[in-house]
Chains A and B, each alone.
Chain A
């Protein structure tokens, strides 16, 4: 992360989020300030490599429902469909993030298969760097993207 400023990182993440959401589901989102509803789901993954990092995407369930309906081109979708679509959504975001960010500042890395959970679940509490970005679609349904770089255990001095 030393080679990228906060602004550069945010621009990269914004670009990835806007393009991926539109290309996958034909949904336009924009950066905003706000908060999610109480009814959210979380998709998490961890990156493996020289720098440990986690990416969490928390979203209003209504956003994920809409995303899934668009992806499967069907209004009638199941809970499993929503989970599968959400996981693939984060999968594509991560792939693009790896390509853009980690190739610039670190040796290229891989990430774990994303995990879907109901509710709000953030993976890391001890972070060296954290970027939180909030987005909404045209229906004011929100997404919170949290990118965290963990402090390595042997560097964690309290």
Chain B
């Protein structure tokens, strides 16, 4: 089950400044079932890495491990060449994670939701928040309660964070599931721009991404 992707993974992290996140010999089992073992890969600046695999192959588990939400694994993670355990604050400052559950409170409005999730990371003005919401097609919905919005619109509330983010690494778990055609194009565009700016993206999806230079890691 040895899986290795991307040309950079064979270099030691110290030699390559562009490598943001490196995973070495990851091993994880759930309920006595091995999800993956000996998994090595790295994510560098300018890279969009898609994680593929069937249902139950551990895509979400892998993303949660990388973010530090799931500590139940063996192996080592490096952030910019340093052991992740000592880099937690720096890593969290540079990370934007949108999980399967997108973190949108149903009784709050899109504006209030976005304000809180952004302010956990950095100071943003209301004008910036409004224009980000307009940017994901939620103009006119800023002050409706989120339980009145469709699943796709709630997903867009979460994705508005991408427009305001200064994080280097985006980790997105199934961000395309509830989006319409326009939404998919918008998100693909955002991922591409982020990579072009020197950021990195880790994304799980079954969708065929139309992004030049896309790399794929297949699990299972």
Is B a genuine binding partner of A? Answer: no
